[in-house]
Amino acid sequence: MKNKLAIKGGPKTINSKIAHYIWPNISTKTKKAVLNQLNKEISLYVRSGIIEKLETRLSSYFQTKHSLLTSSGTAALHSMYFGGDIQENDEVICPAYTHFATVTPLFQLGATPVLVDCEFDGNIDTSEIESKITQKTKAIVVTHMWGMPCKMDSIVKIARKYGLLLFEDASQAIGATFKGKKVGTFGQAAAFSLQAKKVVTGGEGGVLLTNNDEIYYKALLLGQPRRSEIEIPKPHPLHDYALTGMGLKYRIHPLAAAIANQQLDNLDYIMRNRQRVANKLVKELKHLPGIKTPLIQQESKPSWYSFVMQYDSSELDDLPISKFCEALKAEGCKEVSRPNFTPPLSHFALFQNPGKLFQSYAGKFSYTNKDFPKAERFYNNAIKLPCWYGTESKFVNLYIEAFKKVIDNYRELL
């Protein structure tokens, strides 16, 4: 009777009323950092105070010449592309399976996103990149999806071979490494999000990293007018435009910078704990029929932004994933989800019919749901768990128990 599934009237595996997972981790130290900042200054025009402090820390952490804080990850991505001189009619190779904001800023520049299908881990399929390169291709952008590093050695090789700019969207992957090198340091520039769910968060915010002065100056010009005046050197031709910039304002709020600066203190601790929890989840779930735990490239260290596994219904007599997840929910697994907000980009009207919103795109491209079968499969079969990092990691055992129970008894669901 104990094994009867909760969805069929049996006992629930998890009865706890408390939250199973708490993120962001707003500690007393975070609150103190915000109060301190509130008492100091809540608007910073130029690179100073908490903004200078955090940028300096990030530059030292990533060993990059420039770190530029922005109001969001989207703003950092826009700044990155503009900084890299991506212009109208340039083509940029992009992953089809990513958060839409990796690619949407390209529409602001009139550039054409050329989407590429994904591999078994959800990251861009490196074997498909070269066939998409044309005379118009100017850059490649990759996303380390769910914090899993892309195959950066192959990608760097392709970018060098064709003389293309290489950009990284490392929004979900702060702290992750590929062959010992931090993601976000492989190309000419990288963007990160500091939005609330990210491993280092300011609530909202973003970061642009680059060693390239020209990318940095142009990024300043796009969204940081007061800073441009001071930081773009006088003899530089862009200095003439420094006062107004490009007409946008992408400055981070000092309170967001104060939060992120405090959260950065925890990065190593959080990474260690997430790694420990991920190892346990892999060990316990990988042999279960119906479940393929995340496949980690050799020598990669993910950030474990989330633990995203693949469901294989063929091993459970074609039990639909929706029924499987409903049964887990009924067992009390509140944190089990399917990442519905991250479909392949071809699902969005903007990528199917961009001309309706941006006239200059009329007739340029029209992606359909059939274009990226591997991304489609990855998305349809993805089941997400949070990667616990602290005291609430006792829930990990309960979730594992629930997975085992549902799989042991899946026939009740057919």
Ligand X SMILES: Cc1ncc(COP(=O)(O)O)c(C=O)c1O
Paired tokens of 307? 């633990």
* Secondary structure class of 31 (helix, strand, coil): helix
Q: Which residue has the tokens 């479909």?
A: 343
**Cβ partners under 8 Å of residue 329, min gap 6:** 336
Q: Which is nearer to ligand X, 108 or 409 (CB)?
A: 108
Q: How far is the CB of 198 from ligand X (least distance, A)?
A: 7
Site string for ligand X, 1-20 (x = CB under 6 A): --------------------
CA angle 93–307–70, rounded 5-degree value: 55
Task: Please tell me whether residue 74 binds ligand X under the rule CB under 6 A.
Answer: yes
Paired tokens of 352? 């199917």
Q: Which is nearer to ligand X, 78 or 301 (CB)?
A: 78
Of residues 128-147, which lie at the interface with ligand X (CB under 6 A)? 143
Binder among 13, 112, 172, 224 for ligand X (CB under 6 A): 172
Of residues 281-300, which lie at the interface with ligand X (CB under 6 A)? none
> Which is it for the CA torsion 84, 90, 93, 98, positive or negative?
positive
Paired tokens of 31? 């609150």
Binder among 13, 37, 72, 337 for ligand X (CB under 6 A): 72
Element containing residue 408 per DSSP (H, E): helix 394-408
Is residue 106 within 8 Å of residue 91, measured between CB atoms?
A: no
Q: Which is nearer to ligand X, 102 or 112 (CB)?
A: 102
Nearest to 105 by CA among 136, 135, 71, 133: 71
Total interface residues for ligand X by CB under 6 A: 14
| Amino acid, single-letter form, for residue 390 | G
Paired tokens of 13? 């595996």
Binder among 50, 96, 101, 150 for ligand X (CB under 6 A): 101
Q: How far is the CB of 341 from ligand X (least distance, A)?
A: 9
Task: Please tell me whether residue 195 binds ligand X under the rule CB under 6 A.
Answer: yes
Task: Please tell me whether residue 73 binds ligand X under the rule CB under 6 A.
Answer: yes
Task: Please tell me whether residue 337 binds ligand X under the rule CB under 6 A.
Answer: no
Binder among 112, 137, 171, 300 for ligand X (CB under 6 A): 171
Q: Which residue has the tokens 């967001």?
A: 256
Task: Please tell me whether residue 169 binds ligand X under the rule CB under 6 A.
Answer: yes
Site string for ligand X, 199-238 (x = CB under 6 A): -------x--------------------------------
Give the C-alpha separation, 19 to 13, whole Å. Answer: 15
Paired tokens of 203? 């609530």
Binder among 99, 227, 347, 405 for ligand X (CB under 6 A): 99
Q: Which is nearer to ligand X, 13 or 177 (CB)?
A: 177
Q: Which residues pair with 166 in a beta bridge?
A: 140
The beta strand positions in 211-284, using DSSP E, are none
Q: Which is nearer to ligand X, 141 or 288 (CB)?
A: 141
Task: Please tell me whether residue 303 binds ligand X under the rule CB under 6 A.
Answer: no
Q: Which is nearer to ligand X, 99 or 251 (CB)?
A: 99
Q: Which is nearer to ligand X, 82 or 399 (CB)?
A: 82
Task: Please tell me whether residue 70 binds ligand X under the rule CB under 6 A.
Answer: no
Nearest to 399 by CA among 339, 337, 321, 318: 337
Give the C-alpha separation, 324 to 327, whole Å. Answer: 5
Single out the segment in contact with ligand X by CB under 6 A; choices: 58-66, 67-75, 110-118, 325-333: 67-75
Q: Which is nearer to ligand X, 171 or 261 (CB)?
A: 171
Helix 394-408 vs helix 321-330: crossing angle, to nearest 10 = 130
Single out the segment in contact with ligand X by CB under 6 A; choices: 11-19, 37-45, 71-79, 234-242: 71-79
Binder among 67, 102, 293, 346 for ligand X (CB under 6 A): 102
> Which is it for the CA torsion 316, 321, 323, 325, positive or negative?
positive
Give the C-alpha separation, 288 to 281, whole Å. Answer: 11
| Amino acid, single-letter form, for residue 56 | T
Q: Which is nearer to ligand X, 250 or 311 (CB)?
A: 250
Task: Please tell me whether residue 124 binds ligand X under the rule CB under 6 A.
Answer: no
Give the binding site for ligand X (CB under 6 A).
72-74, 98-99, 101-102, 143, 169, 171-172, 193, 195, 206
